[in-house]
Structure formats: C-alpha cells, structure tokens
Amino acid sequence: MPSGAPEREALREAGGGEGLYGLTTALLRAVGEALERGDEARLRELIAPLHAADLADLIERLRGDERHRLVAMAGAIVSGEVFAFIEDDVREAIIRQLDSRDVAAAISDLDTDDAVAVIEDLDPPQQREILDALPDRADRFGVAESLSYPENSAGRLMQREFISLPAFWTVGQTIDFMREAEDLPHDFYEIFVVNPRQEPIGTVPLNSLLRTRRPVRLRDIMGEELHVIAAETDQEEVGYLFDQYDLISAPVVGASGRLIGVITVDDVLDVAREEAEEDIFRLGGVPEADIYRAALQTAGGRFIWLLVNLATAILASFVIYQFEGTIDQMVALAVLMPIVASMGGNAGTQTLTVAVRAIATKDLTVGSIRRVLGKETIVGLLNGIVFAVLTGGVAAAWYGNPALGYVVGGAMIINMLVAGMFGLIIPVVLWRLRIDPATAAGVLLTTVTDVIGFLAFLGLAGMFLL
C-alpha cells in the first residue's frame, strides 16, 4: 500500500464513507484544523494524494480566507489542472490574490484549451500579465490567439496540441515519429492527415494505425469523412455536431481552411453541462451559478428578473381588480381562482420545457412547427377537458352550486388550451428573433397563463353566476 494510504483509509472510515469521491467529513475536518494551526506539512500530507478534481472541490468548500491560505500553503500542489477544475467565481477570486508568474507557471503544463479556460474570464490587463509570464513563447502565442476568438466559440474550446501528417507518410514513419517526439498532446485519439496547404483531408484512428503494417501509407488507411469545424462556430453547435455524429474528436480550421486545433469529446462534455446549466438558470430567472458569490452580488444578479416578475404579477392583479365587484358578490371565486391559473401555468411549463429542449437539439424546425403546435393544442384540450371534469365536479360539490362547477370547468379548458399553445409559440417566436428562449420564455408564459386564467374564470363567472 503506498505511503499515507493507511491514514487516508482511517480518515475515510472515520468519515463514515460520507463525502464526494476523495473527500470525507474527517478529511475536511482535518484540513480545517491544519489551516487553523498553520501546519503546512500536515496540510500538504493531507491534500497531496487527492485527485485534482477532488482538491478543487475541497477548495470550493472552504471560506474565502481559508481558500487563500490553503493555496499559499500548498504551493505547487495546487497545479494548473486543479485551477481548471475550480468553479469560475472561486478561481477568479483566488487568481487575483496570486502573482502572475505563479499562475503562468501553473498553467504552462496545461493543454491550450484548459489554459484558456483558466484565464479567459480575468480582466484583460491580468490576462496580459499572465501571458507575458509564460515561459514558452509558443504557449504564449497559442493561448493569446485562442483568446482572440469569440467567447463560447470553437476557437476558445479547441486545443492546439494535435498531430497532423502528410498523406504520403507511412505507418512506420508515423509510429517512429510519435515515439521520438517530445511535444505530443497529453491525450489524442486520431492523427489528422493534411494536404500541402495544411488543410485536413482525412483522419487515421490510433487503432487503425496500430493494426496496419509499417510500409502502408496514411492515404490508404485514412477515413475521408470529416466533420470540420470553423473556429468561429458557437460551442452549442459544436456540441450538437458531436452528439449527432458520435464524434471523439474533430478538426478546427481558421478562415483560410488551415488546421489550427482539435476539439475532443471531453471538452464537449463540459460544453453540454454548461449549456444545460445555463438553460436551467435562465428558466429560473438566475443569470448564472452564484453559490460561491457574496450575498450582495447574488442579490444584485437576481434582482432584474424578480423585478420583471413583479411587473407581470401587477398586470395579473390589475386583471383581477377589473372584476373586484364580481369577487365581492361571490367569495368562492377568490378561493377557486388560483387553481385555474396554477394548472395553466404548470401545463404551459411542460410544453415550454419540451419546446426549449427541442430547439436546442434541433428536433424542432421551421417546417415542423405547425405539426407540433397542432399536437400541443390537442394535448392542452384533452388535459383541459379531463381536469375540467375533476375541478368542476369538486367545486360544484364543495359549494353545492353546479353552475360554479361549469364555470370552473370552462375556464380550465380555456386556460389549459392557451397554455399548451403559448408554451410552444413563445419560445419559437423568441428563437426566430434570435433571443435565447430559455431567457424570457418562462416569465412571458406565466404572464399569459395568469392573465388568461383570471380573465376566463372571472369573465365566465360574471356572465353566468351573477
């Protein structure tokens, strides 16, 4: 068993198996005690065996002052790989406290894509200081050029470490080259075959290379089905391409068509997670992940959408106000009114969720909108009829008033029908206007279902009950 393993097992057992992967309650407690005592040797002994991702999680769980002390005491143990795993807000706060030369030294061993991810959200002056401090001129140029591409583009996502060889090379030459070269990528899955203009013309998977005799030329075993990605392509499109064609890696080309980088599937997994999180946050009216932000910053980030929600709530209240006399004459309306609005909102949200996902995955196209709208209208109508019977029956029995049951049922059908239609119409309109449907669709849909629900219910009540 390696050095330190018995102690780590004891810590794991003391923690009762709790924690995430390499982290346990006992380990977190021991790290906290070492930080409090300023025991650098003990701290290093505890964190040195951790995987970079687990160490990143550990740093995130600490308070701000504790994070900075741990990073200062840990030294090189907090490597560039650890920085790449840390959440953006936490990483930025830590890097601001470090010397640019220390950050440069930490990221110098990373692939270009990871180095870019570490510093891309920093202020431009600090980015420049770190770039100037990078020891290798090629690394400095590669990271700087990647940063010149738009945020969330393939140019930011790609790594510049790849293997590209001419088609006339043999398998033997290729294998010898890979054995002797000292600057190969850390991870790669295929070799890109290029023409004299350095444009990709094919790929040779490593398994094909190893199974082929040495005299065979790359042109004879390369696959010519390429999914070339332009550096300006949005990362969401990149994710779709990988998902659609089950890619492991894909070449990235500049404006001239020259091969400048490669995107691998591990990067796309990060993109998929980021895009999913972004949609979830936007549907909830939260601009981005803020669990590690200060309370004042978090409150400010959420304020705008809460203000928008307040405006829509006032609009719905104004609709209710128009029927104030109707409600005064029959108190039961005030009791039953939220049911209609709530059911419409939930039904619309179901359609909205499916629509936003379908737009993101390109399952919903311009040509299929009419068909999907027809389907959602039918679904809304069917659910409306079922719940009209249920809620109308309950209302009639509760208050001993069959007419009230008919009003509740009629309003339920109208609102569920409208919810199904607008749950699709709103995200589609935003999409066609080139606005992210996840950003505003939820608020707009809630407004529609509340207003229509109140109008239908109180309007029918005014006509048939009073």
Q: What is the pLDDT of residue 10?
A: 43
Interval 361-388 mean pLDDT: 89
Task: Please choose, from the candidates 263, 209, 203, 212, the residue with its C-alpha nearest in 3D space to the C-alpha of residue 236.
Answer: 263
Tell me how far CA of residue 388 lies from CA of 114, 392, 449, in angstroms: 55, 5, 16
Q: What is the pLDDT of residue 216?
A: 97
287 confidence band (pLDDT: 50, 70, 90): low
261 three-class SS: strand
Per mean pLDDT, which range of 7-21, 79-93, 321-335 is the poorest?
Answer: 7-21
DSSP string, 25-78: HHHHHHHHHHHHHT-HHHHHHHHTTS-HHHHHHHHHHS-HHHHHHHHHHHGGGS
Is residue 303 predicted with pLDDT exceeding 50? Answer: yes
Question: Across the strands, what pairs with 200?
Answer: 194
What one-character DSSP code corresponds to residue 153? B
6 confidence band (pLDDT: 50, 70, 90): very low
pLDDT tens figures, 304-326: 766 777 787 788 888 888 888 78
**377 vs 287 pLDDT, higher one:** 377
Q: What is the pLDDT of residue 301?
A: 65
pLDDT tens figures, 64-87: 889 999 999 998 899 999 999 998
Interval 422-447 mean pLDDT: 85
Both tokens of 124, joined, read 């431009």
Q: What is the pLDDT of residue 343?
A: 92
295-464: CATH class: mainly alpha
380 confidence band (pLDDT: 50, 70, 90): very high
Contact 340, 455 (CB under 8 A): no
pLDDT tens figures, 393-417: 999 999 899 999 999 999 999 999 9
Is residue 197 predicted with pLDDT exceeding 90? Answer: yes
* Cα angle 38, 40, 46; round to 5: 115
Is residue 121 predicted with pLDDT exceeding 90? Answer: no
Contact 147, 116 (CB under 8 A): yes
Q: What is the pLDDT of residue 17?
A: 44
pLDDT tens figures, 80-117: 999 999 988 889 889 988 889 889 998 988 888 889 98
Q: What is the pLDDT of residue 404?
A: 92
Q: What is the pLDDT of residue 441?
A: 80
Q: 5-152 falls under which CATH superfamily?
A: MgtE N-terminal domain-like (1.25.60.10)
Cα torsion angle, 47, 52, 56, 61, sign: negative
Per domain, the residue ranges of the chain are 5-152, 164-283, 295-464
pLDDT tens figures, 122-181: 888 899 999 999 988 778 888 999 999 998 899 999 999 899 999 999 999 999 999 998
Both tokens of 102, joined, read 């220390």
Is residue 2 predicted with pLDDT exceeding 60? Answer: no
Mean pLDDT of the chain, nearest integer: 86
- What gap in Å lies between CA 96 and CA 93, rounded to an integer? 5
Tell me how far CA of residue 103 lies from CA of 43, 78, 140, 156, 254, in angstroms: 21, 10, 13, 19, 29
- What gap in Å lies between CA 159 and CA 110, rounded to an integer? 10
Task: Please choose, from the candidates 153, 216, 214, 161, the residue with its C-alpha nearest in 3D space to the C-alpha of residue 189.
Answer: 161
CATH topology of domain 164-283: CBS-domain (3.10.580)
372 three-class SS: helix
Tell me how far CA of residue 430 lies from CA of 116, 209, 346, 352, 367, in angstroms: 32, 48, 20, 12, 17
Both tokens of 57, joined, read 């999680």
Q: What is the pLDDT of residue 147?
A: 92
